[in-house]
Amino acid sequence: MPKAKRQSNRVMRCVDSTNQRHRRRRRSALEKDQINRALAEPVIVVSSPIFNKRNAEKLVFDIPTNVPRLPVSWYCPAIDRADPPKRNAVRLLSREEEAILFRQYNYARMKWSSLQDCISKTNSPQDADLDELVRWYDISIDRRDHIVECNLALVLAMAKRSWATGEYADLVAEGNVALLRSVDRFNCELGFKFSTYACRALTTAFNRFGKKQLKHKDNVPFEFNPDREPVHATDNEEAYVSPEHVHAIREAVRSDNVQLTEIEKDVLRYRFGLFAGQNPPKLTLEKSGKLLGISKERVRQVQLRALHKIREVLEHRLPLDLLVG
């Protein structure tokens, strides 16, 4: 080969190598975050028998009809409970349409997971592998969003039926997270509708949210404005408590088995007469509050919380009427 031609080929190879490096720099600058998310995000794959066939990708994606996609501008986490979405804005998927979307979603995740393993084992991944990783990542996110958008009305419907207290927008937000988790774990090959599976997940999420709200209320700090305190209790609080139950409360206050705060111990001492002496007085909510520097409604709340703690330790030996707010 002539010397001039060899030099020309060498120059062309250098130019190609330089262009490839430039392409890598441009791609890493534009898609770095997306590639990092695709590599770092854990992937859950729900397998299907169709994935084991030779032409699986064609069978999964080359379908005769596409599942329509509707806008979700009507949906807002702060939507009022009494304002349901318009009928023409919501469209429920059929079982066949759900199967199409879920198979495409899980096949994309299967390819995505495989590329994650392949790329993580090499120090210098190929551009083609990174391109495929991003492509399947985008497909999986698109199919997941499509499924979620078609089931947003389910979150609102279940949130309206929930007993959980708190801000409605927060409740809907919890439902959205539960819906996303349900999409990741649903197996369309079992023949059930996705709503059947998602309803149980939403109910569990709402119950957990309600328990957190109640626990938060039970741990409200005692810094407050007395003028803004609601007053619900009356002065007729002197219900009869048997000596046996008073003795159980006294032993619980003295022992370390029940983790009572100092304010809880003081409230129980005043309310049930746990001071030293033969017949110590049982103070009303109002008198106990004056001695402790808090309102009588706050005394009632502290008393209920303390009795709940004692009842858990004493294995329900205290009567339920003591715990009625």
For 70-125, the pLDDT digits (tens) are: 788 777 766 555 565 665 567 778 899 999 999 999 999 999 989 988 887 777 88
Flag the least confident range among 14-18, 121-125, 204-208, 250-254: 14-18
Domain that holds residue 70: 27-217
Which own/partner pairs from 160-168 qualify as long-range (CB within 8 Å, at least 24 positions apart)? Answer: 160/81, 162/203, 162/206, 162/207, 162/210, 163/206, 163/210, 164/206, 164/207, 164/209, 164/210, 164/213, 165/210, 165/213, 165/214, 166/209, 166/210, 166/213, 168/78, 168/79, 168/80, 168/81
For 128-159, the pLDDT digits (tens) are: 898 999 999 999 999 999 999 999 989 888 88
Model confidence at 19, pLDDT cuts 50, 70, 90, reads low
For 174-230, the pLDDT digits (tens) are: 999 999 999 999 999 998 999 999 999 999 888 888 887 776 665 555 454 544 444
Higher per-residue pLDDT: 21 or 257: 257
- Mean pLDDT of the 18-23 span: 50
213 and 236 in a single domain? The answer is no
199 and 293 in a single domain? The answer is no
- Mean pLDDT of the 4-14 span: 53
Among 217, 252, 286, which residue terminates a domain? 217
Which of 53, 294, 99 has its CA nearest to residue 192? 99
CATH assignment at residue 289? 1.10.10.10
195 and 246 in a single domain? The answer is no
Among 163, 185, 217, which residue terminates a domain? 217
Model confidence at 325, pLDDT cuts 50, 70, 90, reads very low
For 270-284, the pLDDT digits (tens) are: 888 776 555 667 888
Number of independent structural domains in the chain: 2
Domain assignment present for residue 201? The answer is yes
Q: What confidence score (pLDDT) does residue 139 get?
A: 95
252 and 205 in a single domain? The answer is no
Q: How many Cβ atoms from other residues are within 10 Å of residue 311's Cβ?
A: 19
Residues constituting the chain: 325
34 pLDDT above the threshold of 90: no
Exposure b/e, 17-49, CB count within 10 A at least 16 = b: eeeeeeeeeeeeeeeeeebeebbeeebebbebe
211 and 256 in a single domain? The answer is no
242 pLDDT above the threshold of 80: no
Domain assignment present for residue 7? The answer is no
246 pLDDT above the threshold of 80: no
Q: How many Cβ atoms from other residues are within 10 Å of residue 83's Cβ?
A: 10
